[in-house]
Amino acid sequence: MKVYPTQNIRNIVLLGGTKSGKTTLAETMLFEGKVIDRRGTVEAKTTVSDNAEIEQIYQRSIYPTLLYTEFMDHKLNIIDTPGSDDFIGGVISAFKVADTGVMIVNAQQGVEVGTEIFARQAEKCKKPLILGVNQLDHEKANWEGALESIRQTFGKKVVVIQYPVETGPGFNSFIDVLKMKMYHFKDDNGTRVEMEIPAEHADQAAELHQILAEMAAENDEKLMELFFDKGQLEEEEIRAGLRIGLANYEIMPLFCLSGKKDIGVKRLMEFVINVAPSPDKTVQKLKDGTTVPCDAAGQPSVFIYKTAVEQHLGEVSFFRVMSGKITEGMDLVNPETGSKERLSAIYAVAGKKKEKCTEMLAGDIGCTVKLKSVKTNQTLNGGNKEWVFEPIVFPPSKYRTAIKAKVEKDEEKLGEILNRAHAEDPTIKIEYSKELKQTILSGQGEHHINILKWHINNTHKLEIDLFPPKIPYRETITKVAIADYRHRKQSGGAGQFGEVHILIEPVVEGVAANNKFKIDGKELVLNLKGKEEFTMDWGGKLEYYNCIVGGAIDARFMPAILKGIMEKMEEGPLTGSYARDIRVFVYDGKMHPVDSNEISFKLAGRNAFKEAFKKAGPKIMEPIYNVEVLVPSDCMGDVMSDLQNRRAMIEGMSSDKGFEVLRARVPLAELNKYSTTLSSLTSGRATFTMTYAEYQQVPAEVQDKLLKEYEANDKEE
């Protein structure tokens, strides 16, 4: 494999909704670069991308696939990404290592919600976008409709580079207003003829060329002066302006395509090479905020953006060379672990095809195998550098489910599979909840989780159950209460005896403990001798006061009483959920000279706390999440109505680029399968994010229902 200098490399990520034709377009790019000599099809399951069995079953991209092609003495690294929001993690990781996004718009549908989501991601990652209207050969293709929806979404940034002479099955020519030529295609293999623009298109082409020149000139003062002087710009001058405008996110050039018939693909690739930024024009940000130039003469450094396990190869680590030159057999150091890693082999990647390389220069993307202990988001350096590149930030989960193996002995194997899945796709998250006694699996949507389930069932031959997860409720109190409990047990020999009197009240932020209380009309004054304060692992506090006078309980038993109370905090008296924000005063009790011991006082403390808790206006609290929904305006009413049925509190609405943004606070208990419902309500056109906000008391009717359910389950057990 030829070694390409940094300035002759282009890194692009193919974006677009499901069925926009990204995979077919990528196939044609590889064909044009002679990386493959025959084009496969999605329908025949023969494409270089979408090569996983599950992708072939669904006939859509599920994983981001690294590809490369060689064209005009340049190397184009291409990452073909999934079109569904459920697999957004693949898009985000691709943006980390690509320099330009190529957004594919389906000529039948125009801008879809996926288009908008990925465009937002490009803006967030500060990556320029080139637009392509694909499938113009389809019988339902609508160039004007697609163009209108693109302009509505992206506004004045859009500049037409090409437009079709006709659309539908007869699509075989387009006018290129940058080169001011018509391109006619003789066959479905990209054989093209460059022609003069026909007279009937001369006026439209001239008008679009003038708009293009003006937009290019606006990005540079010298070009603007030239444009004013001459009234026009030369082709290379327009390219120079587009280069600046693209890099500054001020211009989105628009192309005509049929990936299936290989129409316009070469021109798109030529434009990427001539106008899109090369890696040497970029800098890479470190975790500490400083930057490293993408310079082949710098110290060697690579960033691992993805890991996967491939048959016959084992663990594969995909990387971008951030700086310097790497060579086969080179030793690099992981600054986070201090471990040395050897690049035993370096490959250029075209799906499953791996082409061995002796070296790669800054800006190139490839893979290596059999690294000892390197994960996604880690950096490997040479030259004693301590660089740690800024990590990929993945979105919070939107879908939760509990998971367990059907056969208990398979639990350990399931754990290994899930941990491996997380390593390959960090948007899959696994957590064992000690509180809920469940393994919670989280992802970006139901389809995302179902794909993982398919792999567990079919690749690993393991049967699992998925079911709604329990909700991590919290229990607390709202008023003062007292209780006492005597533990006595006699069974021959030494017995057990301990009696504890306690008072409890809620902890309120900023309100200090008082020592005077009125209980049942009687005043109780406590002697606050000692205080211990604990911040609970699950949130909230426990304050523990020793108010014993006259030696009613020996000091050596106070830790045992605390231990009993702590145990009951961990398994709340109402529903077994964690308790929080409680102040406990131990103010009296009794001992026995022979039978009193630690276990007696632990049990007495535990049960006294339980009794007091039930008298203190106990309340169940539930987790509340901030939910932000991006929804088309015509679906707004249905989405809002559904949220209100989920006990949501609507906090605000706004508009953003043709979509409505709805903000609400929603109980976690009401968000089960929300991603699936939202997709159904909006035909897949809406998306949302959810982040934890706080705990709030549940309404009285919900609390009654929870208590009845807990009592019923308790009796069954």
Tens digit of each residue's pLDDT (9 = 90 or more) over 392-405: 999 999 999 999 99
How do residues 144-179 score in pLDDT, each as one tens digit? Answer: 999 999 998 899 999 999 999 999 999 999 999 999
Q: For the chain, how far is it from start to end, CA to CA, in angstroms?
A: 66
Domain with CATH 2.40.30.10 in the chain: 284-381
CATH topology of domain 6-281: Rossmann fold (3.40.50)
Q: How confident is the model at residue 715 (pLDDT cuts 50, 70, 90)?
A: low
pLDDT for the residue numbered 294 = 97
* Over residues 585-612, mean pLDDT: 95
Whether the predicted pLDDT of 368 surpasses 90: yes
Encode pLDDT of 214-240 as tens digits.
999 999 999 999 999 888 899 999 999
Pick the CATH number of 621-702 from 3.30.479.30, 3.30.1330.10, 3.30.70.240, 3.10.310.30: 3.30.70.240
The per-residue pLDDT for range 52-88, each reduced to its tens digit, is: 899 999 998 999 999 999 999 999 999 999 998 899 9
Question: How is residue 689 written in tokens?
Answer: 């994010």
Residue 572 three-state SS: coil
Which residue spans of the chain are classified as CATH 3.30.70.240?
Answer: 621-702
- Predicted confidence (pLDDT) at residue 714 exceeds the cutoff of 70: no
Q: What are the start and end residues of each CATH 3.40.50.300 domain in the chain?
A: 6-281
Give Cα 118 distance to the centre of its chain. Answer: 12
- Please provide the CATH number assigned to the domain covering 284-381: 2.40.30.10
What sign for the dihedral angle of Cα 42, 48, 52, 53? positive
Cα dihedral across residues 457, 460, 463, 469: positive or negative: negative
Checking if the pLDDT of 717 tops 70, the result is no
CB 300 within 8 A of CB 381: yes
Give the position of tokens 């290596």.
Answer: 368
The amino acid at residue 468 is P
Residue ranges of the chain that CATH labels 3.30.230.10: 475-617
Is residue 382's pLDDT more than 60? yes
Which two three-digit tokens encode residue 95? 């943006």
Looking at the chain, the domain(s) classified CATH 3.30.70.870 span: 399-470
* Fold of the 399-470 domain: Alpha-Beta Plaits (3.30.70)
- The percent of residues above 90 in pLDDT, for the chain, comes to 85
Return the number of other C-beta atoms located less than 10 Å from residue 62's C-beta. 21
**Of the options 3.30.1240.10, 3.50.50.60, 3.40.640.10, 3.30.230.10, the CATH number for the domain spanning 475-617:** 3.30.230.10
**Within 13 Å of residue 407, how many CA atoms lie on the same side as its CB?**
7
Q: Is the pTM of this model over 0.75?
A: yes
Q: Distance between CA atoms of 407 and 30, rounded to whole angstroms?
A: 46
The answer to whether the beta carbons of residues 564 and 601 sit under 8 Å apart is yes
- DSSP state letters, 194-257: EEPPPHHHHHHHHHHHHHHHHHHHTT-HHHHHHHHHHSS--HHHHHHHHHHHHHTT--EEEEE-
Number of neighbours of residue 184 by Cβ within 10 angstroms:
15
pLDDT tens readout for residues 282-338: 999 999 999 999 999 999 999 999 999 988 888 999 999 999 999 999 999 999 999
pLDDT tier at 658, thresholds 50, 70, 90: low
Backbone angles phi, psi at 358, to 5 degrees: -80, -30
